[in-house]
């Protein structure tokens, strides 16, 4: 008889991060009640006061409130300038965010300043790399990880790429470790999201509401996929890595 693979963390909510975007800031409190770990995609959300100061005040007030879950604050390029993204992530750290996710597109000097601040205030620092067009070769990704470790010594690293083949999935999954989050984008990337926490990554991402990445499954869908992964399936995938 096949038996379900036990999760790396208990309870299940500790290793699936519910990503929130394309909603108004009114959902902050609802998300905090529903999920143990969640990501606020500030760049994708709408705010009652949409100017930078209004976004900063609302975010800070929420983070300083009596929250139940652990919160990752993320602000990707596009909606805000680099200087504005820096300010929002800085305010998030100063206001008590559990994590800030700083992507590698932010100028290095700003990323380094946020890293130093995160050490001072006790916010965990995630440094992330994204490729929305393909999955880089394994040696390229390993080189990026090594450089990031040497220059910033982040608490966690995140690698998210578009998965176009089984080989791409295997490349990403081979990076799994307690300090490296991997996320596969695209239809073939769902397998990566399912297996990554079972292979050692600290957690994976799923959509709380609308997807915040290409073909990102919902929280409930991904949870069910992980629970239904059998020991035989996991062993077969491990042999291919």
As assigned by CATH, the class of the 12-129+190-240 domain is alpha beta
For 168, list phi and psi in degrees, rounded to 5.
-60, -45
31-54 average pLDDT score:
94
- The torsion angles phi and psi of 69, rounded to 5 degrees, stand at -95, 170
Distance separating alpha carbons of residues 184 and 169, to the nearest angstrom = 7
Domain-wise residue ranges, the chain: 12-129+190-240
Task: Report the half-sphere exposure of 184 (CA within 13 A, side-chain side).
Answer: 27
Model confidence pLDDT, tens digit, residues 80-121: 999 999 999 999 999 999 999 999 999 999 999 999 999 999
Average pLDDT over residues 214-231: 86
Q: Which helix (DSSP H) or strand (DSSP E) does residue 150 occupy?
A: helix 138-152
- Which residues carry out catalysis? 130, 158
Confidence of residue 55 (pLDDT cuts 50, 70, 90): very high
């Amino acid at each position: 008889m096949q038996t379900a693979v036990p999760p790396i963390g208990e309870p299940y909510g500790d290793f699936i991060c519910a990503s929130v975007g394309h909603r108004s800031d009114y959902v902050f409190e609802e998300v905090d009640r529903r999920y143990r770990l969640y990501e606020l995609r500030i760049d994708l959300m709408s705010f009652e006061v949409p100017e930078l100061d209004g976004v900063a005040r609302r975010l800070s007030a929420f983070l300083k409130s009596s929250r139940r879950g652990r919160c990752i604050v993320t602000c990707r390029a596009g909606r805000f300038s680099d200087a504005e993204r820096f300010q929002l992530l800085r305010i998030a750290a100063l206001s008590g965010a559990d994590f800030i996710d700083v992507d590698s597109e932010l100028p290095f000097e700003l990323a380094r300043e946020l890293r130093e601040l995160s050490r001072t205030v006790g916010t965990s620092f995630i440094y992330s790399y994204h490729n929305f067009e393909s999955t880089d070769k394994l040696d390229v990704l390993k080189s990026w990880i090594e450089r990031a470790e040497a220059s910033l010594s982040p608490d966690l690293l995140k690698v998210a790429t578009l998965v176009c083949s089984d080989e791409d999935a295997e490349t990403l999954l081979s990076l799994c470790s307690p300090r490296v989050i991997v996320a596969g984008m695209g239809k073939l990337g769902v397998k990566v999201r399912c297996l990554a926490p079972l292979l050692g990554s600290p957690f994976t991402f799923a959509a709380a509401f609308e997807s915040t990445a290409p073909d990102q499954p919902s929280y409930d869908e991904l949870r069910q996929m992980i629970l239904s992964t059998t020991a035989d399936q996991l062993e077969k995938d491990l042999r291919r890595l």
